[in-house]
Amino acid sequence: MKAGCLLFVLWLALPCAGAVEGEINLPTIKPEGQLAQALRGIDRIHQRLETLAADVTQIKTSALLAEPVVSNGRLRYRKPSRIRWDYQPPDAMVLLIADGELTAYYPDLERADVVDVRRYQQRLLRVMGIGQSTEMLQRDYEIEFAGRILPDASAPEQLIPLELRGENPPRPMPTGRLTVLDLEPRRRRLERRIERIRIWLDEATWLPRMMRLAEGRGDASLVIFRSIEPNAELSDDAFELDLPDSVEITRRASTGAVEAAP
């Protein structure tokens, strides 16, 4: 499975402080007031949000990679716990969480890995930060206000750290007023996988526009959301996988045992 997929990389962040080149700091009154405002905004959209669709770009960096790896795809979510992420070629893959199972389907390899996640599906969603109220999110994370910014409209790609930017930064990048939050894991089990998550929230919608994840091994991932469609019309078929007969399926129980599917 792709590195970062299980955590959905989605809510992804390198530890950093302050604004970077290309950002304009906006005035703040008190950090606790700004944090409270952001949390209220997140809870409002959580209450109204039933589905979500967005185009997504993922940028992955690692000490084992000579250059950042860029993947593009489409994310779809239906409340309370169905998520599908379709990666585009050349690394085509479908990642689906539905009905208590996480399925990673690799069409080019004619292979699918299926993991039983019924026992910890809700916690997995909190790790991913999707569709969760702030009360639920704060059970696993300490949330801090990290600032308000207005990206430079002439060079919004400068939001991306240099080590992740590459020669052809993805466009369009987030613009408009953004609130930045840092999430630090409260639980030791999470700390072994995630050091910190940074989220850029659009103040007009309180939906995430960009997320960066620092992993415990020193790897880092960034996810950029574009063409976001809250409460998009999504059919039931969007969260079903009709695998060809030629696909080899491996099933993994939540205990870690592996068995080959017939």
φ/ψ (deg, to 5) at 57: -115, 130
Domain annotation covers residue 13: no
> What's the predicted TM-score (pTM) here?
0.76
- Residue in 150, 146, 156 with CA at minimum distance from that of residue 180: 146
Q: State how many domains the chain has.
A: 1
User: CA–CA separation, 262 vs 259, rounded Å?
Assistant: 9
pLDDT score of 29 more than 50: no
Tens digits of residue pLDDT in 158-181: 555 555 555 555 555 555 788 999
Domain that holds residue 187: 23-241+248-256
Sign of CA dihedral 203, 207, 211, 213: positive
Specify the pairing of strand 248-252 against strand 111-116.
parallel
What six digits make up the tokens of 179?
């609130």
Mind listing the pLDDT tens digit for each residue in 190-236? 656 778 888 989 898 888 888 888 886 778 888 888 889 999 999 99
Is 4 inside a domain boundary? no
- Identify whether 261 is part of a domain: no
| Domain annotation covers residue 10 | no
Query: pLDDT band at 1, cuts 50/70/90?
Result: very low
Q: What is the CATH number of the domain that holds 213?
A: 2.50.20.10
Are 190 and 140 contacting, i.e. CB atoms less than 8 angstroms apart?
A: yes
Is residue 225 in a domain? yes
Does 175 fall in a domain? yes
Question: Is the per-residue pLDDT at 241 higher than 70?
Answer: yes
At residue 166, the pLDDT reads 53
Residue 12 lies in a domain: no
Q: Are 239 and 96 in contact (CB under 8 A)?
A: yes
Spatial CA neighbour of 4 closest among 118, 111, 85, 106? 85
Token pair in block for residue 156: 């919004």
